[in-house]
Structure formats: structure tokens, C-alpha cells
């Protein structure tokens, strides 16, 4: 590639110190990649704005007066992107040396690939399962944080969804990769369209990869590109509205890609909201 140009879209909500570390890693490990970085801030209260503009004057900052959600904030950054390639990147990531070049080179060398994601690792070096199968009816019981997955981690349903039983040092086609770090080409984005803004947070990356695959492109997990991701199943209390928004996203995804008509749709609707009620109860019992 000659003078590759990458537009990076980052959504921030009170991730100040982590965001600064993310930006530092981007510029430090950009290699030969020319960057256009846009940060959309969803009404954070961490006083980041002045610090960000002082340390990174080349970063374009979009400031929202309220939290409009991840999908809409990402689309705000995508709307001003000018690069031949686009990267969705969470503020709690650290891009390691060579990752950006590897992702871009793979997309350029394989026009049949519409989206690619790196190997995500935790700060302790443990591999995160960031390439997965599309969710099915059993996913509610056998997802990454479910009790059944924790109690019986080798069960077939969890393994099939999380793709946990294959060598994550190998490049592989998957159904979807995590939106915490997802790269695509501008022509793919133009055809598939931006993120669905009816998802406030969660599931928007699954939906977008589904649309990429439905349009005829492949989605690839590329372990030679590596990114650190500070993620974990928090035991702290979260806003109840966020729990509700996540389950609304589940319903929306189901209606878009999995619905079968009555009475099955009504049963799924009831089960999802029953799960939401259970999660709200657990959340209320947690420490603030």
C-alpha cells in the first residue's frame, strides 16, 4: 500500500486516562499508516476535553450534550471519516506495534474480506474470545458471562457460540468480530451502511457483521494483529437504563435477523424481558 490512510472512530464516556493511553498507542504504533482520529465524547464528566485538545491537537473532537449511545456516536465519527480504511476502536484498548498495518494489509490483499478484527488480549496477556458465531436461541443461557458457561465452560453450546475450542493463533473466518477493534474498507461501509442506531450499546457490532456477511463479504479474525483490551465482567452496579437498553438491543436484533412469527416471537419477547428483570434485580443487590 502506498501512503495508507486510516480513519479511526473512538467513542468516549468517562474513560479519560484509558483514552489517553489508547491515543498514545495509536500514534506510537501507527507504523507507516497515516491517521485521522475522531473522538466522539458522550457528555463525559471527567474533564477530558481540555487535556485531549492540549496533548493531541490533531484529534478531531465531537462533543455531545448527552449520551446518545455507542452506535450513534460512532456514526458521527464515521460521517467525517476520509480514509480509505476505517477502524472502530474502544477507548479502553492499547494498539500494539504492527497491528494497524497487519489489519490494513489483510483487507487490501483479500478483497473478499469486508471486516477484520485482531487478537484481543487482556492486560495479563490472556486471549479474549473476540471472534464468535452469531447468537442463537441458546445464547441467552450460554453466553460469555452466563452462569452455565462459568459452571460448565466446556459445554457444547458455549463452545459453539464463543468459538473457544480452536487455536486462536490461527487466522480464521468467523461470523463476527468485536466492535472494540474492527477494521473495514470505506467501500464496504458505503455499501453496508453505518451502525444501526436503534442499538444503544451492545449487539451493534454483531448486527453490522451480519450485514457485511449478507452482502457477500467475509469477516476475519487475524491474530498476527494484537490489541490489549481492558475489559471485564464488572461486579459493580450499573445504571438500570443500561440494563434495559441492552435487552432492547437483544429484541431488536431478534426482530431483524431471527424472527419466526407468532407465537414464537411473543415467547422470545417474554423470555428476554424476564431475563432483563432478573438482571435488574441482581444489579440492585450490588454495591454502588
- The two beta strands, 5-12 and 85-89, are parallel
> What is the pLDDT, as a whole number, of residue 233?
46
Give, for 102, the enclosing helix (H) or strand (E): helix 99-109
Q: Is 115 exposed, middle or buried (0-12, 13-18, 19+ CB in 10 A)?
A: buried
Cell numbers at residue 15, please?
Answer: 474513560
Domain ranges of the chain: 5-129+168-229, 132-165, 240-285
pLDDT of residue 238: 79
Q: What is the pLDDT of residue 185?
A: 97
**CA-CA distance, 131 to 177, in Å (whole number)?**
4
- 103 to 53, 106, 131, 174, 279: CA distances (angstroms): 28, 5, 15, 15, 37
Cα angle 121, 232, 224 (rounded to 5 degrees) comes to 10
Position 215 scores a pLDDT of 97
CATH number for the region 5-129+168-229 comes to 3.90.550.10
Grid cell of 48 as nine digits: 477530558
- 20: cell is 489517553
Cis check: omega of the bond before 263, within 30 degrees of 0: yes
Nearest to 196 by CA among 241, 240, 256: 256
Q: What is the residue-level pLDDT of the chain in tens, covering all 288 positions?
A: 556 799 999 999 999 899 999 999 999 999 889 999 999 999 998 888 788 889 999 999 999 999 999 999 999 999 999 999 999 999 999 999 999 999 999 999 999 999 999 999 999 999 998 998 888 766 655 556 555 556 666 666 666 666 678 888 899 999 999 999 999 999 999 999 999 999 998 999 999 999 999 999 999 999 999 999 998 544 567 788 888 998 999 899 988 988 888 888 888 888 888 888 988 998 888 776
Q: What was the pLDDT predicted at 170?
A: 93
pTM of the model: 0.90
List Cβ neighbours of 83 (8 Å cut-off, separation of 6 or more).
5, 6, 7, 34, 36, 186
Cell of 51: 487535556
Amino acid at each position: 500500500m502506498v501512503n495508507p490512510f486510516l480513519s479511526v472512530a473512538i467513542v468516549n464516556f468517562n474513560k479519560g486516562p484509558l483514552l489517553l493511553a489508547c491515543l498514545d498507542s495509536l500514534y506510537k504504533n501507527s507504523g507507516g499508516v497515516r491517521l485521522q482520529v475522531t473522538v466522539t465524547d458522550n457528555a463525559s464528566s471527567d474533564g477530558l476535553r481540555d487535556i485531549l485538545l492540549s496533548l493531541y491537537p490533531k484529534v478531531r473532537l465531537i462533543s455531545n450534550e448527552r449520551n446518545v449511545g455507542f452506535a450513534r456516536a460512532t456514526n458521527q465519527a464515521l460521517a467525517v471519516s476520509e480514509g480509505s480504511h476505517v477502524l472502530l476502536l474502544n477507548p479502553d484498548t492499547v494498539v500494539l506495534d504492527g497491528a494497524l498495518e497487519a489489519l490494513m494489509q489483510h483487507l487490501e490483499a483479500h478483497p473478499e474480506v469486508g471486516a477484520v478484527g485482531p487478537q484481543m488480549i487482556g492486560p495479563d496477556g490472556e486471549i479474549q474470545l473476540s471472534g464468535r458465531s452469531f447468537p442463537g436461541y441458546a445464547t441467552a443461557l450460554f453466553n460469555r458471562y452466563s452462569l452455565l458457561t462459568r459452571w460448565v465452560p466446556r459445554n457444547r453450546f458455549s463452545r459453539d457460540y464463543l468459538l473457544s475450542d480452536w487455536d486462536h493463533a490461527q487466522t480464521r473466518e468467523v461470523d463476527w468480530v468485536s466492535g472494540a477493534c474492527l477494521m473495514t474498507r470505506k467501500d464496504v461501509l458505503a455499501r453496508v451502511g453505518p451502525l444501526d442506531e436503534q442499538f444503544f450499546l451492545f449487539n451493534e457490532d454483531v448486527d453490522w457483521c451480519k450485514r457485511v456477511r449478507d452482502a457477500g463479504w467475509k469477516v476475519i479474525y487475524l491474530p498476527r494483529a494484537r490489541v490489549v483490551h481492558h475489559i471485564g465482567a464488572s461486579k459493580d452496579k450499573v445504571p438500570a437504563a443500561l440494563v434495559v437498553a441492552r435487552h432492547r438491543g437483544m429484541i431488536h436484533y431478534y426482530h431483524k435477523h431471527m424472527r419466526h412469527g407468532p407465537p414464537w416471537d411473543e415467547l422470545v419477547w417474554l423470555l428476554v424481558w424476564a431475563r432483563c428483570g432478573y438482571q435488574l434485580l441482581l444489579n440492585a443487590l450490588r454495591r454502588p
